Amino acid sequence: MLKPALRALRHCLGLGEDSLTLFEAPAGQRHIDVVLLGVSGDVVAVELKLGDWKRALSQASLNQLWADLSYIVIPQSRESATSACEVARSYGVGVVEVGVDTASVRVVAVASRLVDPSRRSRLLELVASGS
């Protein structure tokens, strides 16, 4: 699930396979599943959930305090995908939908207006250092 999702997201954002990536990045008292560093210096947060897209969306919304763009990755499912996309769009969160061997970006994230500069800087340092 992770590889096709990251491939689709990197493609959508114009990133190469060698873009800086950090897994389980500390964000206060919790962790962001994946953080990517965009070409223009954008910090991109990604939450992956197999079952509970509402929980993923809740976490992705919080990630907007830390990252410029925030995405959720969910399995392909007609009934949940439509609902997830509608709600995510209203929060400015992007959606990557993953099938067996494929993934596609269903909703493109909107730049967060909630980013806290000090939190973003700390996350950027962590991604750059790879820790």
**Which tens digit of pLDDT belongs to each residue from 18-61?**
788 889 998 888 899 999 987 778 899 999 988 888 999 999 99
Q: What angle do CA 101, 15, 123 make, to 5 degrees?
A: 105
Query: Which of 91, 22, 27 minimizes the C-alpha distance to 53?
Result: 91
Query: Which of 48, 71, 68 minimizes the C-alpha distance to 60?
Result: 71
Report the C-alpha gap between 73 and 95 in whole angstroms.
6
Fold of 2-112: Trna Endonuclease; Chain: A, domain 1 (3.40.1350)
Q: Where are the domains of the chain?
A: 2-112
User: Tokens 């114009």 belong to which residue?
Assistant: 14
The pTM score is 0.88
